[in-house]
């Protein structure tokens, strides 16, 4: 009698253990801020100046002292012109200064009146809308103060973050190096698009879709990818591919071959070359997930069904790769949303249902939730995170993971 199978691991428990195996890659590199989108900071960015560096105007108009209007009948002579990037002389009391957006506020001025509220006279200006002190003035340090940490080590750089780094004068940034990932698929049924016309496909053959979206997901996460193609369903071929992939890579990522069939060779091959620490997760889709090491290199095996592979990548591989890059915020973002569907079939596993937001502010469910229907991941814009044993009724509040937050 064969020994009983171990119980499926709950997702949160498996993820915590998986992340425990990952540590930030030690190698650092300096990259131009222009080229650092998506990279992970390996230093705190501390500002050496105020941003903006001095009080400046947020409008084209006239800088003045509000108290001067009380005795001037709304008309003030124009004493100077101040453009952005120029120096400003102290304001002559009882006068106004022509000023442009971004130009420094002259000493003695306490407000700016936008030009639409002014009437230009011969050498003077009539103020048609008396200002309040501080009006249309951006204060020094309003955005960033001297000595402030504007971005912390472990932050993944976004376009806005690059602009913020540039605003404090950072031309280059210290970042973690990119993870090197070896990617291959297993399965004699797999055919590459372009290799065989659809009308000439052999019975049982399918085009290899997983290879395309997994490579794209890895690239989006900042990885360097070595595409090792399709490996035949043979133990010797699987062993050879794993040995080659373990060389000069931080992670081996495979798709298919991690179930329990006679043609599933990933598990015994990994065990022959290293060790398997995680196998099978209590989620649907995505149960056949595996983690181990091959000759010291991280190994993750994803299911062959495309939606299972896609979902397990987002839930497990994504945070693992982010931790390799030193990212400190690893939680999968989710929001509360209202179900505009019924899901009467509770499952003992935690389910991730493909859904999308509708114009009424609720969630619609894709009709076919099969793990082989990749259309559901294109039609949907996120996943409903449904706990084990939970049914859903129209109007219930559910947890929703938007794809936009994890892609």
Structure tokens at 197: 């016309």
Query: What is the DSSP-derived secondary structure letter of residue 281?
Result: B
- Within a domain: 5: no
Residues 224 and 291 in one domain: yes
Last residue of a domain, one of 324, 355, 373: 324
- The CATH number of the domain holding residue 127 is 2.170.190.11
Residues 40 and 122 in one domain: no
Radius of gyration of the chain (CA): 30
- The CATH number of the domain holding residue 266 is 3.40.980.10
Residues 377 and 240 in one domain: no
Residues 305 and 288 in one domain: yes
CA gap 219, 222 in Å, rounded: 5
| Total-model pTM | 0.89
CA gap 251, 245 in Å, rounded: 8
Q: Which residues of the chain are modeled with pLDDT < 70? A: 1-6, 258-264
- Within a domain: 304: yes
Q: Strand 75-82 to strand 124-127: parallel, antiparallel, or no bridges (unpaired)? A: antiparallel
Residues 266 and 206 in one domain: yes
CA gap 387, 282 in Å, rounded: 11
Structural domain of 104: 56-138
Residues 191 and 311 in one domain: yes
- Within a domain: 84: yes
Structure tokens at 330: 């690893």
Structure tokens at 226: 């070595």
Residues 36 and 166 in one domain: yes
- Dihedral of CA 104/106/108/112: which sign? negative
- The CATH number of the domain holding residue 372 is 2.40.340.10
Residues 149 and 184 in one domain: no
Last residue of a domain, one of 160, 176, 192: 176
Residues 149 and 127 in one domain: no
Residues 296 and 189 in one domain: yes
Predicted local distance difference test score (pLDDT) of residue 260? 54
CA gap 361, 209 in Å, rounded: 32
- Whether the CB-CB separation of 280 and 8 falls below 8 Å is answered with yes
* Cis peptide, bond prior to residue 52, ω within 30 of zero: yes
- Whether the CB-CB separation of 64 and 141 falls below 8 Å is answered with no
CA gap 231, 189 in Å, rounded: 11
Nearest to 263 by CA among 190, 370, 213: 190
- The CATH number of the domain holding residue 36 is 3.90.105.10
- Within a domain: 104: yes
- Whether the CB-CB separation of 304 and 255 falls below 8 Å is answered with yes
- Within a domain: 273: yes
CA gap 45, 39 in Å, rounded: 14
Predicted local distance difference test score (pLDDT) of residue 256? 84
**Residue at token pair 């001297």:** 146
Q: Which residues contact 173 (CB under 8 A, 6 or more apart)?
A: 30, 31, 32, 33, 36, 39, 41, 43, 45, 157, 165
- Number of structural domains (the chain) is 4
Residues 292 and 374 in one domain: no
For residue 82, the surrounding DSSP H or E stretch is strand 75-82
Residues 112 and 155 in one domain: no
Predicted local distance difference test score (pLDDT) of residue 262? 47
CA dihedral in degrees (87, 92, 96, 98; nearest 10)? -20
Structure tokens at 345: 């079939």
CA gap 218, 322 in Å, rounded: 11
């Amino acid at each position: 009698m064969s020994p009983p199978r171990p119980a499926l691991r709950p997702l949160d428990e498996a993820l915590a253990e998986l992340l425990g195996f990952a540590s930030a890659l030690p190698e650092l590199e300096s990259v131009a801020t222009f080229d650092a989108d998506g990279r992970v900071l390996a230093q705190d960015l501390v500002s050496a100046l105020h941003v903006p560096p001095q009080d400046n105007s947020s409008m084209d108009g006239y800088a003045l002292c509000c108290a001067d209007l009380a005795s001037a009948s709304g008309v003030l002579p124009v004493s100077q012109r101040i453009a952005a990037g120029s120096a400003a002389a102290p304001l002559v009391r009882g006068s106004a200064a022509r000023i442009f957006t971004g130009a420094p506020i002259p000493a003695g001025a306490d407000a700016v009146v936008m030009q639409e509220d002014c009437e230009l006279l011969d050498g003077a200006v009539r103020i048609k809308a008396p200002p309040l002190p501080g009006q249309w003035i951006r204060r020094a340090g309003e955005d960033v103060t001297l000595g402030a940490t504007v971005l912390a080590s472990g932050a993944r750089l976004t376009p806005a973050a690059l602009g913020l780094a540039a605003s404090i004068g950072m031309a280059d940034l210290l970042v973690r190096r990119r993870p090197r990932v070896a990617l291959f698929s297993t399965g004699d049924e797999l055919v590459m698009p372009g290799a065989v016309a659809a009308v000439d496909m052999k019975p049982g053959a399918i085009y290899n879709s997983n290879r395309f979206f997994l490579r794209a997901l890895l690239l989006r996460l900042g990885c360097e990818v070595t595409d090792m193609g399709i490996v035949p369903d043979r133990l010797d071929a699987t062993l050879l591919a794993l040995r080659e992939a373990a060389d000069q890579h931080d992670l081996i990522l495979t798709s298919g071959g991690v179930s329990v069939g006679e043609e599933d060779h990933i598990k015994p091959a990994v065990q022959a070359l290293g060790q398997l620490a995680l196998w099978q997760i209590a989620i649907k889709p995505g149960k056949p997930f595996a983690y181990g090491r091959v000759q010291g290199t991280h190994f993750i095996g994803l299911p062959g069904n495309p939606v299972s592979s896609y979902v397990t990548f987002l839930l497990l591989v994504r945070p693992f790769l982010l931790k390799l890059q030193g990212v400190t915020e690893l939680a999968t973002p989710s929001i509360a949303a209202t179900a505009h569907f019924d899901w009467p079939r509770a499952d003992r596993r935690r389910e991730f249902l493909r859904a999308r937001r509708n114009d009424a502010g609720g969630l619609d469910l894709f009709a076919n939730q099969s793990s082989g229907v990749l259309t559901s991941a294109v039609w949907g814009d996120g996943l409903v995170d449904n706990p084990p044993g939970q049914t859903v009724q129209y109007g219930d509040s559910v947890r929703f993971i938007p794809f936009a937050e994890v892609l």
